[in-house]
Structure 1
Amino acid sequence: MALGDVVLVATDLSDSADEAIKLGHEYAKRAGGKFVVCHVVHEVLRSAPLFPQAIQADMEALIHAESRAAAAVEDRVKDLTGLPSSGFEVRIESGGADAAILRVAEDVSATLVVTGSRGLTGIARLLLGNVAERIVRYAHCPVLVARPHARSKKILAATDLSELSQPGVALAGQVAAEQGAALTVVHALDVLPAPALGFTVPFGGAPIIPPPELIEQMRVGADGVVGGMIDRLGIKADRRVSEGDAATVVIRTAEELDVDLVVVSTHGRTGLARVALGSVAEKVVRGVQCSVLVARSH
């Protein structure tokens, strides 16, 4: 199944969401897939059994709001994509935004959910909004967090060398092949594990740092594992192994290479049995300046 078979875009009709509509359309167009755009109207229904006329007025207001929203979404999508009304589906939902979007994603069997980088909160800040964060965490399929960025046709995929991180690398290879983009796979070599710092410094010790020769051996070994993963997956990619914590390495490498897409997996784990591409994935989504595709590791 292709990533763009059923693309669901979440929009709050903000400028941030416009990039999500444009990118979502591109993925659906490449795959010849279904393109669905969802907008959630805030639901305010009073519980007033003694005043049924008030409940009826609320229902009428909600219906009117949904009708206006449907027209606004349709016009926005047509302006941004050039599609006719028959070329996409508009879904207008009411209630909690994240729950509604996740529900629609399940309902349409979405293969990709696309949301804007500011989430659907309207808060002008760099971090993801709570709604977008919950979509990234709980959607059943990959989620693309869209950001405007000059197209460089360069993609960066992150791996912690675990099997659970391989779906992200494989997905990055698929997207790179579809877009004719250059792919780089990066692994972060964390030479200063948190336990070493925690056990020594509070008692007057110094952080335990491996000698340079051992670090080089670790780097060469990791590079070989990354190369083996690339070969097994049958994808074409360059590889990098850089020292530092995972999120910092991914964000820094994305800037150095000027990529227009970063691909990360959730639930990747290291040999220390800690989350490496779970919480790290969220830090990467917040920290990079380009779009991020979050793959699911099942």
Structure 2
Amino acid sequence: MKIHFKRILCATDLSDFSNLAVAQAIEMAKEFGARLYICHVIDLPMVSMHGAAFVYPDNQIEEMKTGAMEQIKRLVGDNDLSWEAIVETGPVSTTLCRLAADRHADLAIVSTHGRTGIKRLFLGSVTERLLRTVACPLLVVTPPEKASGGEQPFKGFGFKQILVGCDFSNDSQNAVDYGFSLAQEFEAAIHLVHVVEPFVYRDTMLPDNTEIETLDAVSAGSQKRLETLVPEDAHNWCEVHIASESGKPFMALKAYADTHQIDLIVLGVRGHSLVETMLLGSTTDRVIRGVACPVLSVCPL
């Protein structure tokens, strides 16, 4: 299935790091000939003093909107593409979801500062909310300082090594479709990776050697299933790698990405309940918070 993005929505808070997402979005729009919507949402806090709510004056709000529009124009510069700047006020994630739906976006692009710990537990992040609510695939540009060891942070545009995490669910099948389409578009190598979680298959009554044999059998079976996901003609236009790893999915995927210099990770994303999300997160969340390359989360069809 060849995927062609026609309408791309990019969100920025106009910080230096967030504007990396704008640069990514501009290049994506040029690659696919897509219309680009660059959005900035002004989230005005409601301030209450002595029982009375403070409301920002209309002229002050208009000044903020005008300033944001000017910054967006400078970011686009003289790039030759079809684009529109959108500046609105309201709750950020809710407003972005509405804008994506109104513009019929087939790709959204954001950046994330990678919150962890208490800040994430109680506040969450706009990116994590969008993962569960936006009705189109979400490309997340991650902080380059997350590069570890000898790994080089993502720079520039273009994908040459694409990793697709597969757990054989419908969600991951969507990710596989997007991964192969992007590999064909960018003439990139693709890595299909399944992670076997030992505790899922462990029986404490089994001898150690039997447990190892069981995991080996599961791993071999996983590789065969991964091979069935490869389109018949894929080897004609891209280099395909199949791998079955062992461990916690988010840790194994990050380690694989580091080792193989992956510059794009594609994952399916599933909805979680509020409690599950706050306490556990999802594999997609954790990968995003741990890697230095962009992550494309593909929502269920």
Matched, 1:154 2:171: no
Change (3 A) 1:209 1:296: farther
* Counterpart contact for 1:4–1:29, Cα < 8 Å: no
Identity of aligned residues (%): 27
Which structure's CA Rg is the greater one? 1
SS in 2 for 1:242: strand
* Counterpart contact for 2:26–2:76, Cα < 8 Å: no
* Counterpart contact for 2:163–2:190, Cα < 8 Å: yes
Who is 2:150 aligned against?
none
Change (3 A) 1:114 1:11: same
Which of 101, 120, 131 is matched with 1:106 structurally?
A: 101
Per-residue deviation, 1:133: 1.3
SS in 1 for 2:93: helix
Alignment of 1:169-208 (within 5 A): 169-193=176-200
Distance in structure 1 (CA, Å) of the matches to 2:207 and 2:267: 29
Equivalent position amino acid for 1:132 in 2: T
SS in 1 for 2:265: strand
Q: Deviations over 1:118-139 (max 9, x none)?
A: 27x9xxx999961121112211
SS in 2 for 1:188: strand
* Counterpart contact for 2:7–2:35, Cα < 8 Å: yes
* Counterpart contact for 2:269–2:298, Cα < 8 Å: yes
Change (3 A) 1:46 1:158: closer
RMSD: 3.4
Equivalent position amino acid for 1:247 in 2: F
Distance in structure 2 (CA, Å) of the matches to 1:177 and 1:137: 28
Distance in structure 2 (CA, Å) of the matches to 1:11 and 1:46: 24
Per-residue deviation, 1:23: 1.2
Runs of 5+ unmatched residues, structure 1: none
Equivalent position amino acid for 1:107 in 2: D
Total equivalences in the alignment = 272
Distance in structure 2 (CA, Å) of the matches to 1:158 and 1:232: 20
Equivalent position amino acid for 1:283 in 2: R
SS in 1 for 2:18: helix
Change (3 A) 1:213 1:195: closer
Q: Deviations over 1:253-274 (max 9, x none)?
A: 01110111111001299xxxx9
* Counterpart contact for 1:192–1:207, Cα < 8 Å: no
Per-residue deviation, 1:163: 2.9
Who is 1:292 aligned against?
295
Per-residue deviation, 1:8: 0.6
Per-residue deviation, 1:228: 0.5
* Counterpart contact for 1:4–1:31, Cα < 8 Å: yes
Who is 1:229 aligned against?
229
* Counterpart contact for 1:43–1:62, Cα < 8 Å: no
SS in 2 for 1:15: coil
Matched, 1:130 2:110: no
Who is 2:79 aligned against?
83
Distance in structure 1 (CA, Å) of the matches to 2:201 and 2:69: 50
Q: TM-score, normalised by structure 2?
A: 0.79
Greater mean alpha carbon deviation, residues 126-135 or residues 16-25:
126-135
Who is 2:32 aligned against?
31
Matched, 1:11 2:12: yes
Who is 1:244 aligned against?
247
